[in-house]
Structure 1
Amino acid sequence: MAKSLTTLLRALDAAAITVLVVVAALEYPLVLLVVGVLLALWWSDRGGHIDSLGHPARATLSTTQGVLVAAVIGLVAVVASKPYHLAFLACGALLAARPLRVGAGIGRIAPAVVLAAIVVAAYYAPVKTIERKKAQLIALPKLEMAVAELRSPWEFGLDRPSPVSSGSAFIYMIGEDPQGRIDDQLVRFPSQRLTMEQFIQAIEGQTPLQHWFASCGNAGSSILFGRNCAMGLAFSMPRP
């Protein structure tokens, strides 16, 4: 029974390492060498012998090495695009779980804690692509504008809402309303200089329009940055 368990643990470790190396080679070849070295440390120091009671001996991997392995896998996982990040997280969880099964002392939980902490921190980190876009400062031609004016300002002799910073771009579109129910509806903004988020809130709060961000389908998304690309802001009527 003990030998079977040891064999199973070896097989799980080998599978995790194989998947991780393959995914790293496909998505992040530059980190492959670092990950490979760290996992080699894990593999070489992992023990795998049977103790006097017939149980698998605990791994000899040090707490520092275990934490380093978990940290590297976690950092790669949170920046990897879907679905690659799932493979990294699965392998990281499997490797972090080994000390929990066969380790001893408080240090055995360290790799799992580090991996979980990195993922949670990345998920809540204020660096999401769309959130950064929403923080962009824009200028409006006037404080109150009708939906038709917002859709096609040049037709009414108005400048198009534009970014305050010359080094950025502000692209938005408002879909047509076939029945013309909202074209004359006025939107009053809190200021002629406001953030994109305030622009969105004013329109959604005073009209039935709802916003969404267009992006390149191949850009993907990650835990740290959310959607990796947000090319333009769009408003449309909600579906019935």
Structure 2
Amino acid sequence: MDLTAAIDNYCERTGPEYWSEPVNAVTNAAFLIAAALMWHRLRGQDLPLARALVIILAGIGVGSYLFHSYGQIWAAIADTTPILLYVLLYIFIANRVYWGLSLWSALGATTLFFPFAAITVPLFRMVPGLGSSAGYAPVPLLIFLYAFALRHRLPDTARSLALGALILCISLVFRSLDLPICGALPLGTHFLWHILNALMLGWMIEVYRRHTLTAR
């Protein structure tokens, strides 16, 4: 595999140049802002897993910036790896904290994300217009499922999780529209995916923070 091979998947990109996606690149600052805000809100609180999420959130911003500037395969890996880490860590937190599972049970349940994604991604690929966003679609579905399952056990947390899933669904709409409307809007809509996704990821950390404070 040539890790330096160019990738052109977004409306704003017009060539292999470093600064071919300036808006897509700059809007990754939203992830860093969300991470800084949540780091501040966690100050003085003993929540190491939440701080780990914040660090990964900042890493998502850096990785996505690299991808939308360099536009190469290695940068795509730098973009998607922190996202996967965030998803897996949050699922572990949901299993361990929201459901109260033991450490090993929570870890085991977290690994079920992989077969869940393997089953649902091909189904989402059948949805017209979803395109490459099908790879992300299992995440809001899973959050909605957790929210539904937790509605009696933790109603406030369940509602907050559902709100996060809703924000993610809206952001996926803008991600999916990027190429189809490129002729009418050369800038594309991918930058809105960044902004809304940063909001959603920061909110999910806040949900965990609030749950823990209430539980204590």
Give the TM-score normalised by the residue count of structure 2: 0.34
Give the TM-score normalised by the residue count of structure 1: 0.31
Larger Rg over CA atoms? 1
